[in-house]
Amino acid sequence: MRSARYRGSGINREASPLRAGTVPYVSILAGSLLPVLLLQADVMPLAPPLGYIMLVAWRLMRPGLLPIWAGVPLGLFDDLVSGQPIGCAVLLWSLTMIAFEYLEQQVPWREFWQDWFTAGLAIVMYILAAMALSRATVSPALLLAMLPQIVVAVVLYPVFARLVSRLDLFRLARTRRIG
């Protein structure tokens, strides 16, 4: 059943190149946009940085799919909508991509637990760095208020990893009729 869905229904089908190329980017852009629009969290930062989590998930689950420099355009879009100073996500997302590229050379074969650990570490560091760069006055109260967001982001990573694998099936579904 699963393989049938993956392959599509006929022998004369192939994956649409447009879909294969755009799904990761569209899902990351949507991730940047969703917390801004869907959640009215005006009293404290509550939503996990979905755009960043999607980027990390795509990068860890599908190495080589996003080019190393993908953090620049995607981060710029995130900066435009997230309320952070422009350049914050461009810098942090690029550094993340470089770090993961290096990590992958050291540890090419990993289990999901290791990926979760890596992603969790990256997310915690990203949230704290973004807070430091946001020009907010860092106080113990603010740090305490960030805590739920950090916990939610790390705990929810497997959900987003699953979502990315579903999106990957969708991305490679053989729907285009040839011949």
Partner 1 sequence: MAPPSSRRSGFSKKAQYSVFTGYLLAALGALLGAGLLALSYWQPGSFAPLRGAASDAVTPVGEVPAAARTGSQSAWDVVSGYFYAGSQNARLREENEIARIRLAEAEAIRDENRRLKALLDLAKGEVEPVATARLVGSSAASARRFAYIGVGRADGLKPGMPVRSPRGVVGRVLEVASGSARVMLLTDSESVLPVRRAGDNTVAFAEGRGDGLLRIRLINLGLNPLKKGDVFVTSGAGGYYRPGVAVAVLSELTPDGGLARLIADPSATDFVSIEPIYEGEAVAASRVGGENELTEQELKE
Q: Is 133 in the site for partner 1 (CB under 8 A)?
A: yes
Q: Is 10 in the site for partner 1 (CB under 8 A)?
A: no
For residue 176, what are the β-bridge partners?
Answer: 14
For residue 174, what are the β-bridge partners?
Answer: 15
Q: Is 106 in the site for partner 1 (CB under 8 A)?
A: no
Distance CA 29, CA 43 (A): 25
Cβ neighbours of 34 (radius 10 Å): 14
Taking the complex as a whole, how short is the minimal distance between the CB of residue 141 and partner 1, in angstroms? 5
Q: DSSP state, 48?
A: -
* Closer residue to partner 1, CB minimum distance, 10 or 85: 85
Among the listed ranges 20-28, 105-113, 116-124, 156-164, the one in contact with partner 1 (CB under 8 A) is 105-113
Beta-carbon contacts of residue 5 (< 8 Å; ≥ 6 apart): 169, 173
Q: Which two tokens stand for residue 59?
A: 């990068």
* Closer residue to partner 1, CB minimum distance, 12 or 147: 147
- Which residues, 20 to 79, sit near partner 1 by CB under 8 A? 33, 35-50, 61-64, 67-69, 71-72, 75, 77, 79
Is residue 15 within 8 Å of 172, Cβ to Cβ? yes
Q: Is 164 in the site for partner 1 (CB under 8 A)?
A: no
Annotate 68-83 with b (16+ C-beta within 10 A) or e (fewer).
eebbeebbebbbeebe
Taking the complex as a whole, how short is the minimal distance between the CB of residue 10 and partner 1, in angstroms? 27
Residues of this chain that bind partner 1 (CB under 8 A) = 33, 35-50, 61-64, 67-69, 71-72, 75, 77, 79-95, 97-98, 101, 104, 108-110, 130-131, 133-137, 139, 141-142, 144-146, 149
